[in-house]
């Protein structure tokens, strides 16, 4: 089995116990950006992975959701941020840079621009994810979408006068939590033996997640050492994320999918879960 994981610290509460050998998994770990893992899972190069929620929407015929685990926020997420030189309502027909690594965040920003701020920016995708302003200085833009650990760092610089947390904007718009990432498996990979292996791996992921949520202080110390974000901020960041997938999360996820479909940004599909005996 091949299990995908994102290298950002938002995955620490799910993979921390696995990394420390506290929970053993029957799989080889593959680390990548959300976009890289999306492509690997769809191509059959991974058996199970955390992926962008929007990619599940786009490939729901080929993938099945793992129950009870996701990365979401019910308000501030702090690591999916739009940094802008002008108010969001003034972004019409101006350059807005997009991270190439998270398709869910891009989809959410497109919906907010269309339905909430009533603007149509000129989006330009960039590979540079670093919060280092020198990486952006040479690119003409009025705003930039930054995700993951770089967003936490850039958020503390006050480099842009207008800052929008996309988790906050979704909550204000819909009243529901936003699911940024889910865990999924390939729908048609192997027979009963493979399905049983996926179910075992799912149980191991949940066990690791439960350990992580009980040891956020330790994970915050590790996250701070890697990102240089202060430990207290890492601890607060973890506390603001939700790693469950309840009915309320599913309501938010379904609404997001419906809005994407309504704008032609994803095909119609349905939420299909791995059967857990």
pLDDT tens, 37-95? 989 999 999 999 999 898 888 888 889 899 999 999 999 999 899 999 999 999 999 99
- Chain centroid to Cα 276, Å, comes to 24
Task: Evaluate whether residue 273 is within a structural domain.
Answer: no
> Do residue 236 and residue 255 come from a single domain?
yes
Asked if the model's pLDDT at residue 203 lies above 80, the reply is yes
Q: How many domains does the chain have?
A: 2
Are 76 and 241 in contact, with CB atoms under 8 Å apart? Answer: no
What integer pLDDT is reported at residue 264 of this predicted model?
Answer: 87
| Domain termination site, one of 174, 194, 215 | 174
What integer pLDDT is reported at residue 62 of this predicted model?
Answer: 87
Q: What is the mean pLDDT of the chain?
A: 89
> Do residue 62 and residue 190 come from a single domain?
yes
Task: Evaluate whether residue 55 is within a structural domain.
Answer: yes
What integer pLDDT is reported at residue 187 of this predicted model?
Answer: 81
> Do residue 53 and residue 87 come from a single domain?
no
What confidence tens digit (pLDDT) does each residue in 230-270 have?
Answer: 999 999 999 999 999 999 999 999 999 999 889 988 777 76
Q: Which two tokens stand for residue 68?
A: 């009870």
What integer pLDDT is reported at residue 241 of this predicted model?
Answer: 96
pLDDT band at 275 (very low <50, low <70, confident <90, very high): low
Task: Evaluate whether residue 91 is within a structural domain.
Answer: yes
What confidence tens digit (pLDDT) does each residue in 102-155 have?
Answer: 778 999 999 999 999 999 999 988 765 544 455 666 778 899 998 888 888 887
The stretch 156-169 carries a mean pLDDT of 90
What integer pLDDT is reported at residue 100 of this predicted model?
Answer: 66
Task: Evaluate whether residue 63 is within a structural domain.
Answer: yes
> Do residue 240 and residue 126 come from a single domain?
no
What integer pLDDT is reported at residue 27 of this predicted model?
Answer: 95
If 0-12 CB within 10 Å is exposed, 13-18 middle and 19+ buried, where does residue 268 land? exposed
User: Which CATH number do you get for residue 162?
Assistant: 3.40.190.10
Asked if the model's pLDDT at residue 227 lies above 70, the reply is yes
Task: Evaluate whether residue 119 is within a structural domain.
Answer: yes
> Do residue 43 and residue 97 come from a single domain?
no
| Domain termination site, one of 156, 174, 192 | 174
| Domain termination site, one of 174, 200, 230 | 174
Task: Evaluate whether residue 35 is within a structural domain.
Answer: yes
> Do residue 98 and residue 162 come from a single domain?
yes
Range of the domain at 253: 2-72+178-262
């Amino acid at each position: 089995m091949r299990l995908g994981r994102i290298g950002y610290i938002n995955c620490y509460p799910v993979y921390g116990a696995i990394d420390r050998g506290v929970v053993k998994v029957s799989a080889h770990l593959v680390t990548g950006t959300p976009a890289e893992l999306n492509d690997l899972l769809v191509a059959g190069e991974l058996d199970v992975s955390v992926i962008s929620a929007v990619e599940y929407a786009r490939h729901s015929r080929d993938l099945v959701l793992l129950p009870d685990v996701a990365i979401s926020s019910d308000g501030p997420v702090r690591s999916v941020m739009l940094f802008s030189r002008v108010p969001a309502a003034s972004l019409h027909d101006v350059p807005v840079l997009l991270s190439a690594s998270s398709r869910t965040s891009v989809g959410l920003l497109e919906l907010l621009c269309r339905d909430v701020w009533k603007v149509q920016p000129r989006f330009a995708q960039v590979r540079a994810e670093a919060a280092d302003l020198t990486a952006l200085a040479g690119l003409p833009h009025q705003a930039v979408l930054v995700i993951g650990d770089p967003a936490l760092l850039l958020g503390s610089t006050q480099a842009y006068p207008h800052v929008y947390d996309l988790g906050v904007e979704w909550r204000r718009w819909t009243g529901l939590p936003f699911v940024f990432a889910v865990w999924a498996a390939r729908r048609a990979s192997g027979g009963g033996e493979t399905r049983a292996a996926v179910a075992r791996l799912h149980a191991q992921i949940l066990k690791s997640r439960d350990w992580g949520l009980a040891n956020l202080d330790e994970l915050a110390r590790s996250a701070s050492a890697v990102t240089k974000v202060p430990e207290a901020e890492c601890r607060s960041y973890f506390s603001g994320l939700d790693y469950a997938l309840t009915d309320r999360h599913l309501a938010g996820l379904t609404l997001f999918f419906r809005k994407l479909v309504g704008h032609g940004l994803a095909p119609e599909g349905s939420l299909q879960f791995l059967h857990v005996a």
